[in-house]
Amino acid sequence: MINVIASIQIKEGQLSDFIGIFKSNIPTVLKEKGCIEYVPTIDVPTGFPPQELNPGGVTIIEKWDSLDNLMAHLSAPHMIEYKEKTKDLVEKMSVKVLKEV
* Among candidate residues 40, 47, 30, 29, the one with its CA nearest the CA of residue 7: 40
Domain 2-99 falls in which CATH fold? Alpha-Beta Plaits (3.30.70)
Kindly report the pTM of this predicted structure. 0.92
Contact status, residue 53 vs residue 43, Cβ threshold 8 Å:
yes
- Spatial neighbors of 20 by CB under 8 A, at least 6 apart, are none
- Give 35-82 pLDDT, tens digit per residue: 999 999 999 999 999 999 998 999 999 999 999 999 999 999 999 999
Split at pLDDT 50, 70, 90, the class of 24 is: very high
